[in-house]
Amino acid sequence: MKIQDANQLSSRTMHSDICIIGAGPAGLTLAGALVPTGRDILIADSGGRRFEKEPDELNAMQTDSNFLYRNGRSNRARQTGGSAALWAGRVVPFDFHPDLDREWSELPSAIVPHFDEAFRLLNIEPDIRNDHEHQPGELYGYWANRTQRFRTMVSGTRNGNCSLFNHLTCIGEPEFDGDRLKSLVFLNQKMERIRISAGRFIFAMGGIENSRMLLLMREQIEKRLGEHFGNVGKYVMDHPRISHGRIVPKGSTSEITRYLMKVTPRGMYKTGIRNHPVHTRAYCNIMVIPGKLTRRVMRLPARSFQVSSKKLLLKEAGLLRTLASQGRLLPVLSGTDPVSSRIMRFVNNRSYSTYKMMAYCEQRPRAHNRIIIGTDTDRNAQPVARLCNHLHPEELYDIESLYRRMEKHAGILNCTFSWDPEFVNNPANYTDASHIIGGTRYSGDASRAVVDHRLSVFGIPNLYITGSSVFPTSGVENPTHLIIALSLRLAGILKEDVAKYC
């Protein structure tokens, strides 16, 4: 992949066969899968190769919510690798539910076959799922030994037909040729306008920006989308989370250690507990309360402790066990030799005196939870997004049921569990989970959709969208594994399309 700084461009126009806007997991996965087509692929991304303050400020947004939306870099990142540049890399494959996920219609049968490849792209050997016993009512999260932070994917996609332009921000201003989108305008940091024309455009700008861009183009696209334009920005969801509840083992034989993070030769995993959903899904993780020394080390910036997944292990397993497990990763030790097995047993066999509970809930798609255009403007003088998202009483009801379930489960685990229903029922005690879902959704019911089953925007056949903004429902699973599988599905669609028409 050729990487260029858009601030150095000499020309004010560019052309490519395929223009992907956004170099996060969604855009980079798509580009990587399309490279073998030999078509010219241009990726435009607002950010630089690493964190820079200026592009990150373009994520400015207004919120209207009954739970807490954290600001800035705890929420999204504008840089190569997108928001995955910030993450700890928790990977949870989406578990489609026959009733709750009905709006996905026929999409799962086209996406699920890409799940194993999505695991591999995330640096996780899919067989890790077979390393432990799966119990009904549980949810499993996986971490690779080495977290894939997508920035590294750029160098992995070495090919002359793919170029990534940093510091190039799409601002819309579309031109059409019949029903086809012909070109869009971009700004570099010198505020120079660059018009890019392409055969196909793909929005991969993340949960907020995919919606915002369509809303900013309202004047030019509203008639083309027809009734579907009314759905743009609607049905936004997150996985609001609450950290509350203390679990104390009654003796030394508690089964609670089942829920601590486990280290295996293929990577790490953690077992969570799911609810029996009445309206919405929820799950909880049992968290270790870290000691003083661990808390101090945790405060070190992620880069100085290599990657944040290791910090997570540190929090869960303590300093000594983390160092032991990381030592195992030295190439001299394989995962199956007796020394490694002993170290692994030492790392995994641990117990603590107190635990806390962290619960995540699903938000159902509701039309009033939506992205609209706000009153402020960003540093490019473009109106910012305003995110309106409220936790619904049904969602709180299901979280409360999960806490009640946990009460019973703690007894089975030989633990006591203390919590306060009033605290759990107050939305103000929840924060976002940096999982912004919906806004440019697919739905089996086209009257509630923005894109069709080919992920193409209704009325603009050569404009496609990928990312969690397309999901019609959110489940409770972390979204990136599904985003990657969705991008692989879109790559398949585009490959067929390019073979037919180009």
| Binding region for ligand FAD (CB under 6 A) | 21-27, 44-47, 74-76, 78-79, 82-84, 86-90, 169-170, 204-206, 209, 434-435, 467-468, 478-480, 483
CB of 43 to ligand FAD, least distance (A): 9
The residue among 307 and 415 lying less far from ligand FAD, judged by its C-beta, is: 307
CB of 278 to ligand FAD, least distance (A): 26
CA torsion angle for 455, 460, 461, 464 (degrees, to 10)? -30
CB of 83 to ligand FAD, least distance (A): 3
What whole-number distance in Å separates Cα of residue 361 and Cα of residue 124?
25
The residue among 28 and 424 lying less far from ligand FAD, judged by its C-beta, is: 28
CB of 107 to ligand FAD, least distance (A): 17
Tokens 């490849």 label which residue? 117
Cβ proximity of 198 and 15 under 8 Å = yes
CB of 269 to ligand FAD, least distance (A): 13
CB of 432 to ligand FAD, least distance (A): 9
| Cα separations in angstroms, 373 against 208, 235, 437, 483 | 11, 15, 17, 25
- Check residue 46 and report its DSSP letter: S
Torsions phi, psi for 323 (to 5 deg)? -60, -40
What whole-number distance in Å separates Cα of residue 166 and Cα of residue 385?
22
Q: Where are the alpha helices (DSSP H) in 35-178?
A: 53-56, 107-111, 115-121, 151-156
CB of 16 to ligand FAD, least distance (A): 14
Per-residue 3-state assignment (H helix, E strand, C coil) for 165-213: EECCEEEEEEEEECCEEEEEEEECCCCCEEEEEEEEEEECCCHHHHHHH
What whole-number distance in Å separates Cα of residue 183 and Cα of residue 19?
10
Give the sheet arrangement for strand 383-389, strand by strand: 61-65, 383-389, 370-377
CB of 448 to ligand FAD, least distance (A): 21
CB of 435 to ligand FAD, least distance (A): 6
The residue among 225 and 312 lying less far from ligand FAD, judged by its C-beta, is: 312
Burial of 345 (0-12, 13-18, 19+ CB in 10 A): exposed
CA torsion angle for 147, 150, 155, 157 (degrees, to 10)? 120
CB of 39 to ligand FAD, least distance (A): 20
Cβ proximity of 369 and 236 under 8 Å = yes
CB of 489 to ligand FAD, least distance (A): 14
Burial of 32 (0-12, 13-18, 19+ CB in 10 A): buried
The residue among 311 and 321 lying less far from ligand FAD, judged by its C-beta, is: 311
| Cα separations in angstroms, 495 against 17, 30, 156, 160, 484 | 12, 11, 20, 18, 16
The residue among 459 and 479 lying less far from ligand FAD, judged by its C-beta, is: 479
The residue among 86 and 391 lying less far from ligand FAD, judged by its C-beta, is: 86
The residue among 317 and 490 lying less far from ligand FAD, judged by its C-beta, is: 490
Cβ proximity of 94 and 116 under 8 Å = no
Query: Helix %, strand %, coil % for the chain, to 5?
Result: 35, 25, 35
The residue among 328 and 435 lying less far from ligand FAD, judged by its C-beta, is: 435
The residue among 204 and 449 lying less far from ligand FAD, judged by its C-beta, is: 204
Task: Output the six-digit token pair for 59.
Answer: 């994520």
The residue among 7 and 414 lying less far from ligand FAD, judged by its C-beta, is: 7
The residue among 32 and 89 lying less far from ligand FAD, judged by its C-beta, is: 89
Query: Per-residue b/e over 71-82, b at no fewer than 16 CB within 10 Å?
Result: eeeebbbbbbbb
